[in-house]
């Protein structure tokens, strides 16, 4: 079956800028879903606010376009009340880790079964190019005209420390790897985090003289190495790609089913 | 005589019992005084009934989680107090915009800010109305005693499902923590409204945001056969974002009209000795108990005093207040704030001169003597 079946074609062409990485992520996500063979009625996609979050409008699933930063909280309500549904939560870097940082760490701590996809383009695109918690020191943004002094989060370390049972990172350059990782993340039972390094040529690339989409994707190729590779050992300054955590931890809805069992015995 | 148990319990527990009676099966919350007992009791009662309780990381997450759960077909509730209610405002607006049936309890405490956590106030009347941004309508109910807390809580769920809207239950610290008798209604004794679900078959175009002629919108559960979009943006009849002025106008009118056109259906109130009264007290929540005491006490002494107790605060029942107060010489609004309901009463009565305020704003429960002192001032008798 073609992935065209999974999109709402009447909303295309999409609203993303030419060269934006988000379309690549959408593509990888849809291919992963196709491979998994999940029925459309069993998927709920919840997003927040921002360029990334417009994804929910483009896909033919049950879709919930929420308020800024709170996608994981909405998704928690959906998942806990209907544990049989597959929850996929695409978020931007601000959505997931600035305004939504608290929900991110607590969803990871609970290990509730959903797939959080952090579409990290290191900038606030929809509001026109302000720095994000993933921008990193030294970058230029409309709110960092003298260069950014905020340290960046490392999404992988943060998600791991907060207790996510599946944590991975890839980029829009490495589409095959990305698709594989998203497939594994959705299959994983527990809270899965996939950080996808993505390019925003319009606001990040232009301001920081990284060139257009092609140049930015090449930079992602050059600046990342496979996890545990020889290259990673020799160049610790490079960013690692791959699956960092994949462990079996009791899942929240399963645990809650046991709470119900205990409560009913006590009656 | 009811065979149901007679209970001697707290107001917050009555709210819990009533919510379960109404069919609550999903609660998300974050503890805050003086609403905490609602979360505590539900954490034990809901799983016994097969429902779900979750303590979220904050109040924002709590209201977001119940919105998500409501979309899958559950009856949902969260409970909080002043500061937590402030945090919920953005998502409350979302629930209004996306038309999500839900019940939000605010057991009021003193404010602003963290204010007086363990003391009484009725300072959130206007926050309930206008706390979230943008033009909208809202339903906000209250109660002054245990049987009424039960009734209004069940009504809140019924109205939420009928009008596809969040409904606010605005209690106060005194009714929340007060203990008194409750006779539980029998199952079936009170009507329970279930949400209208669409009869549109799978594969046929379903319009989640196309109102029927009566203004109601049948829903389809997330996870069911109809896949649609839910958003806080202005949206068309399929739920997809739209910038069209016609769509924006139509949606906003619908959101306001579905409630404003039904003020008479939504208005709940009680009158005590108002027919021949030349002075009418208007009150609600716990302060209505002191007001009632004054009416009963002064009637015995021949004073023509009456009480209008409001149980629906929003949409404000202006017509009812106007007609009940029409022949009164004085109208005295009794509330524990700076006159939030008084402003509406003035609008209703149409005269600034005959409307007065009997209030306390110090975290201390307004007692009959406080009200009596104001009445003496108004009547020119001194204190």
pLDDT of residue A152: 96
Establish if B134 touches chain A: CB-CB under 8 angstroms: no
Whether residue A62 and residue B228 make contact (CB cut-off 8 A), yes or no, is yes
**Which tokens in the block code for residue A217?**
């994707």
Chain A nearest CA to B48, separation (Å): 5
Average pLDDT over residues A36-58: 96
Establish if B23 touches chain A: CB-CB under 8 angstroms: no
Cα(B220)–Cα(B5) distance, integer angstroms: 37
Residues of chain B scoring pLDDT < 70: 1-4, 383
pLDDT of residue B381: 84
Establish if A263 touches chain B: CB-CB under 8 angstroms: yes
Bin B212: left if φ > 0, else alpha if -120 < ψ < 50, else beta. Answer: beta
Chain B nearest CA to A234, separation (Å): 41
pLDDT of residue A234: 97
Examine the pLDDT at A255 and tell me if it is beyond 80: yes
Going by pLDDT thresholds of 50, 70 and 90, the confidence category of residue A267 is low
Q: What are phi and psi of B113, to 5 degrees?
A: 55, -145
Q: Give the burial class of A236: count Cβ atoms within 10 A of its Cβ; 0-12 exposed, 13-18 middle, 19 or more buried.
A: exposed
DSSP state of A127: T
The average confidence (pLDDT) of chain A is 96
The strand pairing partners of B356, in sequence order, are: B332
Nearest to B52 among A11, A80, A262 (CB): A80
Average pLDDT over residues A60-82: 98
Whether residue A60 and residue B56 make contact (CB cut-off 8 A), yes or no, is no
Establish if A2 touches chain B: CB-CB under 8 angstroms: no
pLDDT of residue B3: 60
Establish if A65 touches chain B: CB-CB under 8 angstroms: yes
Nearest to A102 among B57, B70, B90 (CB): B57
pLDDT of residue B379: 85
pLDDT of residue A3: 82
Examine the pLDDT at A163 and tell me if it is beyond 90: yes
B338-366 pLDDT tens trace = 999 999 999 999 988 999 999 999 999 99
B137-180 pLDDT tens trace = 999 999 999 999 999 999 999 999 999 999 999 999 999 999 99
ipTM of the shown complex:
0.97
pLDDT of residue B383: 66
Chain B nearest CA to A249, separation (Å): 19
DSSP state of B199: -
Examine the pLDDT at A241 and tell me if it is beyond 50: yes
- Of all residues in chain B, the one with the smallest CA distance to A106 is B57
Q: Are B106 and B22 in contact (CB under 8 A)?
A: no
Average pLDDT over residues A143-154: 97
């Amino acid at each position: 079956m073609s992935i065209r079946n999974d999109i709402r074609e009447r909303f295309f062409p999409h609203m993303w800028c030419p060269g934006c990485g988000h379309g690549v992520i959408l593509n990888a996500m849809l291919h992963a879903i196709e491979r998994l063979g999940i029925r459309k009625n069993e998927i709920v996609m919840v997003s927040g606010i921002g360029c990334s979050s417009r994804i929910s409008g483009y896909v033919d699933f049950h879709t919930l376009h929420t308020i800024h930063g709170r996608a994981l909280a909405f998704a928690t309500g959906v998942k806990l009340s209907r544990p049989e549904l597959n929850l996929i939560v695409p978020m931007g870097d601000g959505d997931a880790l600035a305004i939504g940082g608290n929900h991110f760490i607590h969803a990871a701590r609970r290990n509730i079964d959903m797939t959080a996809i952090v579409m990290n383009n290191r900038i606030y695109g929809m509001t026109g190019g302000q720095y994000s918690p993933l921008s990193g020191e030294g970058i230029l943004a409309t709110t960092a005209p003298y260069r950014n002094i905020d340290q960046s989060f490392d999404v992988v370390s943060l998600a791991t420390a907060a207790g996510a049972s599946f944590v991975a990172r890839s980029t829009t350059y490495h589409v095959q790897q990305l698709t594989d990782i998203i497939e594994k993340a959705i299959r994983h039972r527990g809270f899965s985090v996939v950080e996808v390094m993505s390019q925003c040529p319009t606001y990040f690339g232009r301001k920081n003289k990284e060139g257009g989409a092609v140049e930015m994707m090449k930079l992602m190729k050059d600046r990342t190495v496979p996890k545990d590779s020889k290259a990673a050992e020799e160049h610790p300054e490079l960013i690692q790609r791959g699956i960092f955590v994949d462990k079996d931890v009791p899942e929240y809805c399963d645990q809650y089913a046991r709470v119900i069992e205990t409560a009913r015995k006590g009656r | 005589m009811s065979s149901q148990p007679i209970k001697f319990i707290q107001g917050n527990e009555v709210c819990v019992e009533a919510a379960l009676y109404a069919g609550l099966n999903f609660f998300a919350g974050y503890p805050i005084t003086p609403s905490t007992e609602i979360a505590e009791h539900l954490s034990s009662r809901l799983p016994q009934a097969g429902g779900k309780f979750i303590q979220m990381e904050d109040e924002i997450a709590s209201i977001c989680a119940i919105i998500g759960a409501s979309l899958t077909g559950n009856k949902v509730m969260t409970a909080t107090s002043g500061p937590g209610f402030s945090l919920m405002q953005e998502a409350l607006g979302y629930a209004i915009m996306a038309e999500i049936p839900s019940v939000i309890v605010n057991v009021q405490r003193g404010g602003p800010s963290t204010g007086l956590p363990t003391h009484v106030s009725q300072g959130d009347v206007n926050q309930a109305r206008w706390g979230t941004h943008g033009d909208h309508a809202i339903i906000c109910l209250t109660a002054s005693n245990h049987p009424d807390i039960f009734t209004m809580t069940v009504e809140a769920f019924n109205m939420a499902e009928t009008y596809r809207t969040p409904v606010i239950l605005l209690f106060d610290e005194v009714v929340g923590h007060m203990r008194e008798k409750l006779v539980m209604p029998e199952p079936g004794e009170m009507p329970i409204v279930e949400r209208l679900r669409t009869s549109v078959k799978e594969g046929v175009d379903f319009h989640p945001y196309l109102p029927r002629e009566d203004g109601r919108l049948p829903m389809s559960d997330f996870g069911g056969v109809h896949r649609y979009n839910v958003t806080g943006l202005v949206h068309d009849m399929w739920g997809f974002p739209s910038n069209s002025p016609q769509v924006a106008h139509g949606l906003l009118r619908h959101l306001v009209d579905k409630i404003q056109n039904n003020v008479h259906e939504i208005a709940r109130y009680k009158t005590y000795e108002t027919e021949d009264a030349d002075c009418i007290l208007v009150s609600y929540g716990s302060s209505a108990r002191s007001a009632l005491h004054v009416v009963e006490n002064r009637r015995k002494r021949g004073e023509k005093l009456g009480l209008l107790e409001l149980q629906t605060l929003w949409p404000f029942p202006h017509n009812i207040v106007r007609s009940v107060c029409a022949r009164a010489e004085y109208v005295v609004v009794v509330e524990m704030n700076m006159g939030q309901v008084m402003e509406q009463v003035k609008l209703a009565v149409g005269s600034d001169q005959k409307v007065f305020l009997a209030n306390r704003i110090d975290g201390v429960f307004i007692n009959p003597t406080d009200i009596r002192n104001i009445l003496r001032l108004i009547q020119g008798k001194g204190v």
